Amino acid sequence: MLSSFNFEKLNALLRDFHTLTGIRITIFDEELHELTSCPQEMAGVCRYIRNNPEAEKACRDCDRRACMKASALRRPYVYRCHAGLTEAVAPVFMGNLPVAYLMFGHLLSDETLEAAQKNVLENCAKYDLDPEHLKDLLALLPLTDEGTVLAASRILMAVTSWLCIDQMISLKKQELPVQIDDYLETHLQEPLDAGRLCEVFQIGKTALYKISREYYGEGIAEHIRRMRIERARKLLAENADLSIHEISEQCGFTDYNYFMTVFRKYSGTSPARYRRETGKNRSSAALPLPESP
């Protein structure tokens, strides 16, 4: 485990989320081990589904895919699980490391309660489950509308930030993935590749690639490029006095044209347009909020 957790504060925060939304929330570490949840016991329908070994495996696979998707997006990901229940997961990042995941569920969400129940029954038909008992358990779940799900996912994102701000999670600095990430952050302007990292940390390339895949969710070269683009976005948004060419150099890109290509790939737009758009957003955010009539 890369991180240390303050469980007293964590449990209090999860209780507050549950009190506000009525939705069960769980926190996992970076290896997707469940740490704590509120309430502790999951919904009866989920306990019943997970009693089936095949369904239990599908649940774990579904959770893992959702966490990886949210980590790649770096924001909450709302989805239907394999059983047809609505869930959401948000990654908790410290620097560039995903150190935990917050997940809420297991919700019935559809146009009508009948449609939502029918969807779950159809998805679970392949498992050796009693459909009548499953139907009785589903009847205990309320229908949650789409607006409530989206509002809860936005609160979830705020919670992930507060976990770090209030020091409920702290990195174990002695862990190698943390050391590598800190080194990259400090040396982004310099030439960086797998060979240099292996030399600095006295590890083989196989070990480095394994760490990168397991903890950063991507190859080491891609991780470095992503970190450089994240820094470029920050500089573009906050340093109007720097030219785009200067920013590319400060982010470790020796080839300006390559920087332009990579930036567009990761950001979907050019550096100049990104700077203009973030400038507009800052101007809008500075305006006073309209008063209620």
Would the pLDDT of 252 be above 60?
Answer: yes
Query: Between these two residues, 148 and 94, which has the higher pLDDT value?
Result: 148
For the record, the structure tokens of 58 come out as 């599908």
SS3 246: helix
Q: Which residue has the higher pLDDT, 26 or 292?
A: 26
DSSP assigned state of 127? S
What are the DSSP calls for 192-229, one per residue?
--HHHHHHHHT--HHHHHHHIIIIISS-HHHHHHHHHH
Residue 127 dihedral angles phi and psi, to the nearest 5°: -95, 160
CA angle 266, 217, 66 (to 5 degrees): 95
Taking the C-alpha atoms of residue 28 and residue 21, their distance in angstroms, rounded to an integer, is 20
Average pLDDT over residues 195-221: 90
Query: Residues 91, 74: contact at Cβ < 8 Å?
Result: yes
Domain boundaries, given as residue ranges, for the chain: 3-171, 176-280
The whole-number pLDDT of residue 183 equals: 93
Fold exhibited by the domain 3-171: Beta-Lactamase (3.30.450)
| CATH topology classification for 176-280 | Arc Repressor Mutant, subunit A (1.10.10)
Helix or strand holding residue 102 (H, E): strand 97-107
141 has pLDDT over 60: yes
Average of per-residue pLDDT across 209-236: 91
139 has pLDDT over 80: yes
pTM of the predicted structure, to 2 decimals = 0.69
> Model confidence over 79-105: pLDDT tens digits?
999 999 999 999 998 877 888 999 998
**pLDDT tens digits for 165-193?**
777 887 776 788 889 998 999 999 999 99
At 221 the pLDDT is 94
Rounded Cα–Cα distance for residues 5 and 285 (Å): 34
From CA 71, how far away is CA 69, in angstroms rounded?
Answer: 5
At 237 the pLDDT is: 92
| Range 266-274 average pLDDT | 93
Q: Which residues contact 193 (CB under 8 A, 6 or more apart)?
A: 221, 224
Interhelix angle for 271-286 vs 220-238, to 10°?
Answer: 50
